[in-house]
Amino acid sequence: MRDMEDSVVHVFTRRERAEQMAQLLQEENPRMLIQVTEDIPAPALARALKKKSEDEKETTSKESNSKND
């Protein structure tokens, strides 16, 4: 799945979670074709993992700041 803001592909580490998300999105958007695939080009995978890492750092930073308040 692509993020509509930055066009980065969402990557799930668990196939079961990806299939659940695909099913939910398919139910919400019946005319849209939503598929789970393991065929992800290397550059797209690299961007997805970089974004995921940055998001995790941001979340950790926010949690640390809220604990210090």
Is the pLDDT at 69 greater than 70? The verdict is: no
User: What percent of the chain is predicted at pLDDT more than 90?
Assistant: 25
Considering only 10-19, 25-34, 39-48, 58-67, which range has the smallest mean pLDDT?
58-67
Radius of gyration of the chain (CA): 15
Model's pTM, two decimal places? 0.58
Is the pLDDT at 47 greater than 80? The verdict is: yes
Query: Rounded to whole angstroms, what are the CA distances from 54 to 23, 50, 57, 59, 61?
Result: 27, 6, 5, 9, 10
